A and B are shown apart, each in its own frame.
Chain A
Amino acid sequence: MQEFLEFALGGLAVGMIYAAIGLSLVLIWRGTRILNYSQGGMAMFTTYVALIVINHTGNYWEGFGAALAAGLLLGAVLERVVIRPIENKPPLNAVIVTIGLLIFLEGLAGIIYGGQFRSFPPAFSIVGLSVGHTALGISRTDLFTAAAVLTAALLLAALFRFTAVGLRLRATAFAPNVARLLGVRIGRVLTLGWALAGLIGALAGVLVTPSTFLYPNSMDSIFVLGFTAAVIGGLESPVGAIVGGLVLGVVLNLAGGYLGSDLVPMFGLAALMLVLMVRPSGLFSTTAVRQV
């Protein structure tokens, strides 16, 4: 029972990170119909920015804020400079461009910061918490991670549903030509979408890097799982990304714990295929498909 609790809660904690990456992928997909393969690379880069600030000022929260700001900026700049020219081109070109972007960011980080592992501080203590005599297997930092991701998701949902900006974002995603006719500045809205995705990605980066250590390729495997989470939940649904991330985290942890760590990737594949065979567009998709 103790073990099960540790596996499950640990899985939820790590699933929050997959959820965050999945969320940023969903944001970009909904807005621009592009799969941003460089999402992990962007998060890695902004985490380096955070580390520089933390080492300079000695203050974790300043670094945290710097990462989020850098995420906003990086997302906006990349959209404007690199993605805008290919937005109306064949969508597979965007895949290659984002892959190229990822490779470039990893190389750039290696050039500027070197390939060494860097230690990245957690927000709070990582010592495990217990209820009475039962160790829960999670720490204050894990609770903060969960709270941060959920808050970000809720704020995003509120943005989408209750603000004019959110309405414009949704309009651009689903009926860009009509939105343009109604006076929405499509270009600016798309830039905003990427900026927000960069922000969420940066958040995921600073939350997960204490456990992966910071180096140019640190977000590679996290990205794969975040992508999986988004696909499980359905790329159209932010809630789906969160649920997908949590489900994936728990399933992988339980599989790794009870069946051995070498089967974890196969289990991830099995979980994904199971979901997709039942619902080919993810758990939370309800898009109508025209059957003939």
Chain B
Amino acid sequence: MTLARHTGAALLVAVVIFVLTIRLGPFRDYQIAEVAAYVTAVAGLTYLIGLSGQISIGHGAFMAIGAYASALLLLHLHWPLEAVFATSALAGAAAGGIIGVAAARLRGPYLAGATLLLAVALPSLADKYAGVFGGDQGLSVSVTTPAWLGVSFPPTRWLAWLTCAAALVTLVLLANLGRSRIGRSWRALRDNEVAASLAGLNVARMQILAFVVSSACAGLGGALLAVVTDIVSPGNFTLTLSISLLTAAILGGLGSLAGALWGGLVLVFVPTYVQDVATSHGLSSAASSNVPIAAYGVVLILVMLLFPSGIQGGLRRLLGPVAPAASAPFNALRRHAPASEHQEEGTT
């Protein structure tokens, strides 16, 4: 039943997107494709943080793995796109499994630190093994519009369809997962690890599973981004990307797939909007290129001050009854914080 409901909703959204891509111009189609790629990655991340209570500032690394996998497959083996996307997701999942196992004992800021350094270190492998990964110049990815669409079909519209289809499939699967026994187990161990363990949950296995699922989504998102931007290079996967994904997940609303959509929209549209506003005011060059940066920072701060539960939480508050579980998922960073009175001071 749940699957039918989710698939129905996805089909509805698909129709909406179909209409939009035809009505809007080719650049908007390109932006829709970008949003779809980010939403895929952010959706996995928001489940990781929001449902299972683990933080990751390194999901850009998993996107890189999926992106490089897709680039190599397309370049050397010429696989069809569906196979490439599926394999990229699997590659991300495998990496997530390894990291999940290594990080199973880490909590809060220590997990954050480990994933942060992963995001910084992984792209350097592309420079080290430049023969395989193309080094700093990267690998070219090219996706051609299928012939049955006609010669004059706008390429960016095809990109939008492709990426949105992949994103919707991911979202349906994640929605089902979130409502399943696994999703409930994640919420349980997020809220109280000890109680969950007492109740019989295998905490480590559930945590690793959360990592695997989220990094599979990130791997697919990376493949989608590769297809959209036509290139995979270390410069695409800086620490800034991982931070942007985290920002999108939290701004949008943790644990919520709608929140992932808001986050993706913010990532793609807010920086260009702010840049347009700045250039239209005719500021000097140094000022006009930095004003959008400063403004974006202010936007982040203001949104967090005004909507502590993210955009989705704010919308829920404005428009409907507050779902009781909405406020729980935020303790990912305080996982190991002292329940003050009960904890010893443990330092020199």
Residues of B within 8 A of A (CB-CB), count: 67
Contact A224-B239, Cβ < 8 Å, known A231-B109, A272-B114: yes
Give the complex CA separation of A266 and B239 in angstroms.
14
Contact mask for chain A residues 213-238; partner B; CB cutoff 8 A; 1 contact, 0 none: 00010001000100110110011111
With A and B bound together, what is the CA distance between A75 and B273 in angstroms?
A: 31
**Contact among A89, A104, A227, A277 with B297 in the assembled complex (CB-CB below 8 Å):** A104
Smallest CB–CB gap between A257 and chain B, Å?
16
Closest to B293 in A: A107
B321-337, CB under 8 A of A: which get 1 and which 0? 00000010011111011
Select A99's contact among B243, B286, B341, beta carbons within 8 Å. B243
Contact A92–B128 (Cβ < 8 Å): no
- B290-309 vs A, CB cutoff 8 Å, 1 = contact: the mask equals 11111111111100110011
Q: Is the CB of B301 within 8 A of A82?
A: yes
> Quick check: is A175 within 8 A (CB to CB) of the other chain?
yes
In the assembled complex, the Cα of A202 lies from the Cα of B22 at a distance in Å of: 54
Task: Confirm or deny: B254 has a beta carbon within 8 angstroms of a beta carbon on chain A.
Answer: yes
B304:A97 contact, CB within 8 angstroms: yes
Return chain B residues, CB-CB under 8 Å to A269: 114, 117-118, 120-121
Known: A86-B308, A231-B110, A265-B120. A281 touches B102 (CB 8 A): no
What is the CB-to-nearest-CB distance from A87 to chain B, in angstroms, rounded to a whole number?
12
B-side contacts of A82, CB under 8 Å: 301
Is A170 interfacial (CB 8 A cutoff)?
yes
B333 touches A107 (CB 8 A): no
- Our pick among A85, A97, A104, A228 for the contact of B113 (Cβ within 8 Å) is A228
Inter-chain contacts of A35 with B (CB < 8 A): 109, 112, 333
Report the separation of the CA atoms of residues A103 and B298 in the bound assembly, to the nearest whole angstrom: 8
Q: How far is the CA of A235 from the CA of B114 in the complex (A)?
A: 13
Contacts of B103 in A (CB 8 A): 276
Which residues from chain B contact A114 at a C-beta distance below 8 Å? 286
A196 contacts across to B, CB distance below 8 A: none
Assess whether A188 is interfacial by the CB under 8 Å rule: no
Residue of B nearest to A170 (CB): B345
Chain B residues lying within 8 Å of A85, measured Cβ to Cβ, are 305
User: CB within 8 A of A33: which of B113, B121, B327, B337?
Assistant: B337
Complex Cα gap A118–B106 (Å): 40
User: Min CB distance, A158 to chain B, in Å?
Assistant: 13
Chain B, 333-348, CB within 8 A of any chain A CB: 333-334, 336-338, 340-341, 343-348
Residues in A neighbouring B246, C-beta threshold 8 A: 95-96, 99
B286 near A89 (CB under 8 angstroms)? Answer: no
Contact B286 A106 (CB under 8 A): no
Total contacts A to B, CB within 8 angstroms? 203
Interface string of A265-289 (1 = CB under 8 A from B): 1101100110011001110111110
A183 interface residue (CB < 8 Å to B): no
Q: Which of A42-94 contact B (CB under 8 A)?
A: 82, 85-86, 89-94
Decide: B128 and A90 in contact? CB cutoff 8 A: no
Residue numbers in B under 8 Å from A91 (CB-CB): 330-334, 337
Query: How far, in whole Å, are A104 and B302 apart by their CA atoms in the complex?
Result: 12
* B23 sits at the interface (CB 8 A): no
Name the one of B194, B239, B330 contacting A290, with C-beta atoms under 8 angstroms. Answer: B194
B191 within 8 A of A: no
Which residue of the partner chain, among A110, A174, A231, A236, contacts B290 with CB atoms under 8 Å?
A110
Contact of A280 among B107, B116, B298, B341 (CB under 8 A): B107
Bound Cα distance A99, B112 (Å) = 14
Question: Is B77 among interface residues, defined by CB-CB distance under 8 A?
Answer: no
Whether A237 and B348, one on each chain, are in contact in the complex, defined by CB atoms closer than 8 angstroms, is yes
Task: Give chain B's interface residues, CB within 8 Å of chain A.
Answer: 49, 55, 102-103, 105-107, 109-110, 112-114, 116-118, 120-121, 124-125, 127-128, 194, 197-198, 239, 243, 246-247, 250-251, 254, 286-287, 289-301, 304-305, 308-309, 327, 330-334, 336-338, 340-341, 343-348
4 closest A-B pairs by beta carbon, nearest first, are: A107-B294, A90-B330, A104-B297, A100-B300
Task: Beyond A96-B247, A224-B120, list 14 extra A-B contacts (CB 8 Å).
Answer: A86-B308, A92-B250, A93-B304, A100-B297, A100-B298, A100-B301, A110-B289, A175-B340, A175-B341, A224-B116, A231-B114, A239-B348, A262-B127, A281-B336
Which residues of A pack against B, CB within 8 Å? 29, 33, 35, 82, 85-86, 89-97, 99-108, 110-111, 114-115, 170, 174-178, 216, 220, 224, 227-228, 230-231, 234-240, 262-266, 268-269, 272-273, 276-277, 280-282, 284-288, 290, 292
